[in-house]
Structures are given as C-alpha cells and as structure tokens.
Structure 1
Amino acid sequence: MYIRGMSSVSVTEARSRLPQLIDEARTEAVFLERRGKREAVVVSPEQYDRMLDALEEVEDIAAFDAAMDEEGPNLPWDQVKAELGWV
C-alpha cells in the first residue's frame, strides 16, 4: 500500500510548514486539525488518483450487482452481439 502512516498537524502549524507537509504527503497522509478535530487531509496527486480509481471500481461493481438483481427477460447472446454490431 502507498500510504505508510498518517500524521496530524494543526492548521496553524500547517501554514508555516506547508512545503514540508507536501513532501510528507508523498509517502503518508497528513491530516489537518482545527481545535483537535480533523478538518482536511493532504495526499499526493498519485494517491488521490488511485483512491478515485478504487472508488470508481467499487461503484462499477455495485452498479453491476444492481443490474444483475433486476428482474426482466434475458436476451440471447446472439441478439446482444447483433445489437452491438459485433457480428
């Protein structure tokens, strides 16, 4: 897995350490806290893209499962191929 650990810093501290926090975000998630409560997280663009890809994959699986649960007539495979122009 890409993220090895997590660190937390206050928003006030983050203001003064932003370049270092961006560097840290290459290898771990950096949580920004305000009054002890997590408010935001800094991650690398690569990790963000991987997370979006994983989310899309989960959504695709959920959509497939929902489609498989739908009631309705089954279409013959030859008909599907013809409608898609595969034959």
Structure 2
Amino acid sequence: MTDISITSARADLAETIKSARKKPIRITSRGQTQAVIISPSLYEKMIEAMEEIEDLNAYDAALADQEPAIPWEQVKKDLGL
C-alpha cells in the first residue's frame, strides 16, 4: 500500500486514482490515515468476502441453535397430507 498526503492527492487527483487501480492508496494527514482509495474490483472482492463471512456466521448460528428435527412423515400428518 502506498501512502500519499492529502495535499499530494489533491494536487494530482487523476494520477492518485490511476495509481489506486494497481494497489490501494492510503491518504494521510500529519502521518495519520484519513482514507484509503481502492480499485472497484478490489472493493467488489472485499464486499463478496464480507458477505461470505456473514453467510458462514449465520450458518454456524443456525447449527448452534438447532432444535430437534421433525420427521417428514409427522409434518405430512400434521398438515393432513
């Protein structure tokens, strides 16, 4: 990841964005990170990864909270099928 000051990023925003297509750019002010610019493809990959993690967490929670299963024959009987 490359660090660029806010002043430098502002002075050449087009080049900063172009550079961010290749690797993330950390925008800093007085040595502190203020923002990160990433490519759209990296952003999409990160969103997909977070959604996968959320799905896995939901799956794990469902398994942990699982009540005893009702046999299919009992379900059909209860529904009058």
TM-score w.r.t. length of structure 2: 0.82
Query: Which one has the bigger helix percentage?
Result: 2
Offset at 1:33?
A: 0.5
Partners of 2:62 and 2:73 in 1: CA distance: 20
Larger radius of gyration: 2
TM-score w.r.t. length of structure 1: 0.77
Partners of 2:20 and 2:74 in 1: CA distance: 51
Choose which of 51, 54, 65 in structure 1 pairs with 2:49.
54
Offset at 1:76?
A: 4.0
Aligned length, in residue pairs: 75
Name the counterpart of 1:17: 12
Choose which of 40, 45, 50 in structure 2 pairs with 1:45.
40
Partners of 1:44 and 1:78 in 2: CA distance: 53
Q: Which runs of 5+ in 1 are unaligned?
A: 1-5, 81-87
RMSD after superposition: 2.0
Q: Which runs of 5+ in 2 are unaligned?
A: 76-81
User: Cα 1:16–1:58, aligned 2, differ >3 Å: closer, same or farther?
Assistant: same
Tell me whether 1:27 sits opposite 2:22 in the alignment. Answer: yes
